[in-house]
Amino acid sequence: MSALIRVASARRGGLAESHHFAAAAVVTPDGRLVARLGDPSFATFVRSSAKPFQALPLLEAGGAERFSLEDADLALVCASHAGLPQHVDGARRLLERGGFTVADLQCGAHRPLDAVAADALDAAGETPTPLHNNCSGKHAGMLLACRLLELPTDGYLDPEHPLQRRIRRRLALFAGVGEEEPGVAVDGCSAPTFHLSLVAAARAYAALVAPELSPPVAAAGAALAAACRRLVGAMTSCPEQVAGPGRFTTRLMQTTGGRILGKEGAEGFYGIGVRGPVALGVALKIADGGERARDGVVLDLLRQLGVLSHDEFAALEDLRRPLLRNHRGLEVGDVVPDFELEEA
């Protein structure tokens, strides 16, 4: 079995020009592999798809109650947001609830991912701050967790910081692997990011949306299961906070009424939790790290699994086959998914 298989082709004038290869795993909360693309043991960094798990210590310790966090706040903590005013203001409010300021964020600054927001910032003669970083909500949540757990905030991104060790243990628990198994490196926002097999990452997402069906997560206690339900509920009820209007992750959760939870990661990774009627987790990695094929492959994968209705697929189909345009704006080609999901 090849580790990677071709999943999409870039066509020019109807003829294939380039190809994207990928691997994926579809897993139940108890770790049973039910479908795959290529080798499900293929390992990669999950990048921002780890954000819901990075938020768990805050929720598990009662942070929502301590800091009066609403669903929109919690969704932002799990977000790779677009840098819209609602996201920037939300991250600022999160910091204020713990007595922090933007100076406490260690994520760095970049231009808003939303082009309109970026242009508005330019027009106002302003420069991006760490609040515009798509990970500012996650970092604000980490600072709140440190405040709640009475941990030092200096060095809160160090992999050996007590909060980061706690996050790694929780991710390993959900993934069904040993505590030291997830590899650790530095993400784009300077926080730790984790290296897992696709089957382990998919199991983590399945357990996130159905903690009662995961033996290790269920055994960890009611507080952890309640934290999962609150986070999943927040992300799926406020999907515009998780990504932004018109972006794939937001539209996927809006269109499915929150039955499907999605979270993108950089370099072509995507994590999915299907809440029912059969709980599943999905982890996908586009091998070349490019993201132009990712959304279409995710949609086709969900369609082949039978978890998207005809109407849901139709509502998202415009994202399945992104068009390619030249410098004059002429349509010259497209990127088309082309694969068959294999039952395990």
Mean pLDDT (whole number) for 195-223: 97
Closest CA to 190 of 105, 93, 77: 105
Q: What is the pLDDT of residue 290?
A: 87
Global pTM? 0.96
DSSP, res 24: E
Q: What is the CATH number of the domain that holds 139?
A: 3.40.710
Coil, strand or helix: which one is 125?
coil
The yes-or-no verdict on residue 210 having pLDDT over 80 is yes
Distance CA 54, CA 107 (A): 15
Q: Provide the token pair at 57.
A: 């210590």
pLDDT in tens, 69-80: 999 999 999 999
Handedness of CA 241, 98, 146, 112 (dihedral sign): positive
pLDDT in tens, 95-138: 999 999 999 999 999 999 999 999 999 999 999 999 999 999 99
- 239: containing domain: 5-343
Q: At a CB cut-off of 8 Å and minimum separation 6, what does 10 contact? A: 16, 17, 18, 19, 20, 292, 293, 324, 333, 334, 335
Domain count, the chain: 1
Q: What is the pLDDT of residue 73?
A: 98
Reported as a pLDDT band with limits 50, 70 and 90, residue 2 is: confident
Q: What is the pLDDT of residue 1?
A: 54
pLDDT in tens, 132-185: 999 999 999 999 999 999 999 999 999 999 999 999 999 999 999 999 999 999
